[in-house]
Amino acid sequence: MSNLYGKHIVVGISGGIAAYKSIELVRLLRKAGAEVRVVLTEAAAHFVTPLTLQAISGNPVANSLLDPQAELAMGHIELAKWAHLIVIAPTTADLAARLAIGMANDLLSTICLATTAPILAAPAMNQQMYRQPVVQQNLSTLQQRGIMLIGPNAGEQACGDVGTGRMSEPSEIFAAVQTALQSQAAQVRSAKPFNGLKIAITAGPTREAIDPVRFISNHSSGKMGFALARAFAEQGAEVSLIAGPVSLTTPENVQRYDVESAQQMHDLTLSLATRQHIVIGCAAVADYRSQTVAEQKLKKKDDSETMMLQLIKNPDIIATVAALSDNRPFVVGFAAETQDVQHYAAKKLQRKNLDMICANDVARQGQGFNSEQNALTVLWRDRQQTVQQQQLPLADKYELSQKLATLIVKQYQITLSD
């Protein structure tokens, strides 16, 4: 998946003939999964129309700082906060000069002053204008203030001149946007407390085929596992998410692997486990699968009220990881129970040789499977092998995952010091 997926990109277009190229840039960004909002200067609207850019971007085009409707919600501040990155293509000599001295006399320059997002500028102007010392000084000033520049290229220009001043091609600017966001993500990760940790998480249900149209599964939505993956990734961990069949968006900066069956999840988890610091089994893995899978749809027998399936055990993924002798990671299991939650969780902690286990009561309404909230009882063994526990009360699954991630890393670090 592209690192632009779900990113918020503001494309600023100023008044130059190269503005027509920005239509293709917007198309490339949208194709990569980015959310794009276009801001036109007054002059740019003479070269490209708001209607065209609205159709390509899928969002209304902003072109006025004094639009009463937009400014009811402080539109320029909203866009400045919304953006993960601002790309200005083309950046004319006039706009470069205004940005260099900190002017905010139109919507685009105001957004640039009001944002904390990185800014990428693609200069485009006549070759003689580009060579002027004052223009070079303005562009240098922008770079010194952290604004990234791409181009311009050399070649034949719309006015007939030949020289440096052509705006970089949309594909080049697109690549620069990707690089800028990758660099930003790396800087964010390096400042996070979980930086350097490698985490593998299983999430969601598995499907065990009976025939080409039927399968055995459960009610797991995968929301807890995905929330946990997000919580770890946001704190800088390198997260591998092994997901059963769910309809959830992959969290940012998470490597996702999709599987169907318990055997597939087992094989993939084992292939990753010895390269991880922590492995978390959050998936609701089917305990059993059909011994044989019919090649054709099984037909209902009119003379029989029953149907017999021979089931065999699936491999216990988290217990297998916990049994590794070489490069064994810190292993965390989940236990979804309907009664005696703490008792059964403690037995699983011991029997499967886990380092921690997170138990939840799925019989309680409003928590567990398919819900937005959950509560956990977390158990682990201390240095004296005494079982300790901590209650994480009912909360939104993401909020709960943040607390759980911190607790897991704390206990992992304690084991390293032993």
Task: Please indicate, yes or no, if residue 143 is contained in any of the structural domains.
Answer: yes
- Co-location of 355 and 274 in the same domain: yes
Domain count across the chain:
2
Which CATH number characterizes residue 249's domain?
3.40.50.10300
DSSP state at residue 17: G
- Co-location of 247 and 156 in the same domain: no
Mean pLDDT check: name the lowest of 113-117, 224-228, 366-370: 366-370
Mean of the per-residue pLDDT values for the chain?
88
Catalytically active residues, by annotation:
159
Residue 358 among known ligand-binding residues: no
Among 164, 191, 218, give the residue marking a domain's end: 191
- Co-location of 119 and 147 in the same domain: yes
Residue 80 among known ligand-binding residues: no
Task: Please indicate, yes or no, if residue 280 is contained in any of the structural domains.
Answer: yes
- Co-location of 280 and 345 in the same domain: yes
Among 149, 171, 191, give the residue marking a domain's end: 191
Task: Please indicate, yes or no, if residue 330 is contained in any of the structural domains.
Answer: yes
Task: Please indicate, yes or no, if residue 1 is contained in any of the structural domains.
Answer: no
Q: Is 352 left (phi over 0), alpha (psi -120 to 50) or beta?
A: alpha
**Which pLDDT tens digit goes with each residue over 283-337?**
989 888 888 888 888 887 766 778 788 888 899 999 999 999 889 999 999 987 7
pTM tops 0.85, yes or no: no
Instruction: Provide mean pLDDT across the span 183-206.
Output: 83
Among 163, 191, 219, give the residue marking a domain's end: 191
pLDDT higher than 60, residue 272: yes
With contact defined as beta carbons under 8 Å apart, do 209 and 225 qualify?
Answer: no
Residue 118 among known ligand-binding residues: no
Cα separation, 356 vs 361, whole angstroms: 17
With contact defined as beta carbons under 8 Å apart, do 123 and 89 qualify?
Answer: no
With contact defined as beta carbons under 8 Å apart, do 91 and 166 qualify?
Answer: no
User: Strands, E, within 132-213: which ranges?
Assistant: 148-149, 153-156, 162-166, 198-203, 208-211
Task: Please indicate, yes or no, if residue 322 is contained in any of the structural domains.
Answer: yes
Number of Cβ within a 10 Å radius of residue 415: 13
Beta-carbon contacts of 387 under 8 Å, excluding residues fewer than 6 positions away, are: 346, 349, 379, 380, 381
Tokens of 57: 């971007």
Identify whether 170 is preceded by a cis peptide bond (ω within 30 of 0).
no
**Which pLDDT tens digit goes with each residue over 375-418?**
899 999 888 888 888 999 888 888 999 999 999 999 999 888 76
Tokens of 286: 């089917």
Residue 315 among known ligand-binding residues: yes
- Co-location of 182 and 322 in the same domain: no
Residue 282 among known ligand-binding residues: yes
What range does the domain containing 321 cover?
198-416
Instruction: Provide mean pLDDT across the span 342-347.
Output: 86
**Which pLDDT tens digit goes with each residue over 28-87?**
999 998 999 999 999 999 999 999 999 999 999 988 765 555 444 445 678 888 999 999
- Co-location of 206 and 148 in the same domain: no
- Co-location of 51 and 155 in the same domain: yes
Which CATH number characterizes residue 115's domain?
3.40.50.1950
Cα separation, 78 vs 80, whole angstroms: 5
Tokens of 331: 């292993």
Mean pLDDT check: name the lowest of 156-165, 237-246, 359-368, 369-378: 359-368
- Co-location of 163 and 216 in the same domain: no
Residue 348 among known ligand-binding residues: yes
Residue 283 among known ligand-binding residues: yes
Task: Please indicate, yes or no, if residue 2 is contained in any of the structural domains.
Answer: no
Q: Is 102 left (phi over 0), alpha (psi -120 to 50) or beta?
A: left
- Co-location of 100 and 226 in the same domain: no
- Co-location of 137 and 261 in the same domain: no
- Co-location of 161 and 205 in the same domain: no
Task: Please indicate, yes or no, if residue 225 is contained in any of the structural domains.
Answer: yes
- Co-location of 253 and 330 in the same domain: yes
Mean pLDDT check: name the lowest of 236-240, 327-331, 341-345: 341-345
Task: Please indicate, yes or no, if residue 3 is contained in any of the structural domains.
Answer: no
